[in-house]
Amino acid sequence: MTDTSGNSGSSGSSGHDAVARVWAAMYDLVLRQEDRRKEVAETLGMSFFRVKALRRLLAGPMSMRELTAELSTDKPYTTLMVDDLERRGYVTRSVSPDDRRSKIVTLTPAGTAAAEEAERILARPPRSLLALDPGDLAALDRIMALLLTPEEPARGR
């Protein structure tokens, strides 16, 4: 039987150690070294969760129920958040033409601009990634392609 864990024989624990180190480094790079979430919140003057709602609405208007599901939160919190975004001029609420009991949340031009600014900040690569030499960047690009390919686990690579 083929071992698909990526470990071979007695080096199993060192394989797990390497996986843990790589994952910790990826986590640190994305979420700690250059905390884009904090930068977005500070730039836009609101919580990152509110920014997340604006970003979700870039795809188009949503009912309050759909937005609640998209954000994996509860109805009262969504209402509180949308109230705040509406006061700030980032969204409007209107009655759904299909169901008068349902409210539709739509970005205003200011909300669209804020969401797009957040997207620009979040898309900016970390300085350490920009500083890689071309060979290392190409190797990392190949590795990331392997990690993002859902077909089958990498074996013997």
Residue 82 identity (one-letter amino acid): V
Residue 27 identity (one-letter amino acid): Y
Tokens for 152? Answer: 């089958």
C-alpha distances in Å from residue 120, one per residue of 4, 90, 114, 141, 147: 38, 18, 10, 21, 24
Tens-digit pLDDT profile for residues 141-154? 999 898 888 765 55
Tens-digit pLDDT profile for residues 5-62? 444 444 567 788 999 999 998 888 888 888 899 999 999 999 999 999 999 999 999 9
